Amino acid sequence: MSKADVAAERKEQIVRATVDCISKFGYHNFSMQDVARTAGVSKGIIHYYFLNKDELMMSVLDKVAGDIERVLQSDMANIEDPFQKMEIFVNVCFDVVRSTREYYQVNMDFWTQINQKDEVRAVIARHYAKFRETAAKVVRQGLEAGKFRKVDPAQYGSFVIAVIDGLSLQWLFDDKVFDYDGMVKVASRLIIEGLLPERTDQRM
């Protein structure tokens, strides 16, 4: 195994350990020593690969976002019907919010830094761009198949992400604000209805 491979594997090991620590202790309560212990390495090794906690956290955001994208691609891979694909996209994203709410908590913490740190803004913007494009790709497939009404794929992709993000944030701040499962069904239905061909009265 080359040095580059060893370095990549070690960084992945540290990032996975960090995700585990965030899940176990919460974002504000875990320490670098916790990460070192979970990863089975010294704190010095962590600082060798990551200059500071911010750099480590941005790698965590990249990993979790990448994991979400892989789940989406896997779940939609063999689905031909674009309506079903969009439903899967919406449901997977909402499920991820509930199962990895720590990701959103870290994300929100980083949002407070976007006006001070360009690299943080770039990381978060890149994540949103990936998810928007995945949603927009489903819309384009539906349009090409003649099953969706005429909408702008990029705009509709942004709309879908906004619905998921907006409802998720409300729930993360107060998980009693609405029934989560019920709201997911409502959101999914409204997003799908907005793509039905017969709905030509309101176009995006």
pLDDT tens digits, residue range 81-123?
A: 999 999 999 999 999 888 877 667 666 766 766 666 777 788 8
Examine the domain organization and report whether 37 and 67 are in the same domain.
Answer: no
pTM over 0.95? The answer is: no
Examine the domain organization and report whether 15 and 80 are in the same domain.
Answer: no
**Range name among 31-45, 63-77, 97-111 with the lowest pLDDT average:** 97-111
Tell me if 204 is assigned to some domain: no
Name residues whose C-beta falls within 8 Å of residue 14's C-beta, 6 or more positions apart in sequence.
Answer: 35, 39, 41, 45, 46, 49, 50, 56
CATH for 15:
1.10.10.60
